[in-house]
Amino acid sequence: MEQLFCPTCGTFLYFKQNYEYVDSAEFYCKLCPYNYNITKTAIDSVPLKKKRDELVLSKDGVGKGDKAEVVCPKCSHGVAYFTQVQTRSADEASTIIYECCECSHKWRED
């Protein structure tokens, strides 16, 4: 908190919290009757918080898919996300793309 000085006698002002009114406090001078009241401004942060929650939700909403117990060829981690990808020609079987939960290495199942 910045130091305030009494405009009347130049002595630095003491700070006193007003406990009857929680949002109010005052600076006062010990040498003369000067005092300076400050009132804290209540900041309504509810709309900001709501916006942040929505952002987090939409980020989590983009799921990476289901997890499978496969061993990563790069780091040997035992769990990876998998996505099934349908190849262009209909007579070919769909391919499974794995993404390691640990190191994000991607590989496809042969």
∠ CA 97-102-106, nearest 5°, is: 25
Give residue for tokens 């794995």: 98
The footprint of Zn ion on residues 48-77 (CB under 5 A) is: 72, 74-75, 77
Nearer to Zn ion among residue 10 and residue 63 (C-beta): 10
For Zn ion, the binding residues in 74-93 under the rule CB under 5 A are 74-75, 77
- Between strands 106-108 and 24-28, the pairing is unpaired
100 counts as binding Zn ion under rule CB under 5 A: yes
Question: Is residue 13 at the binding interface for Zn ion, with CB under 5 A as the rule?
Answer: no
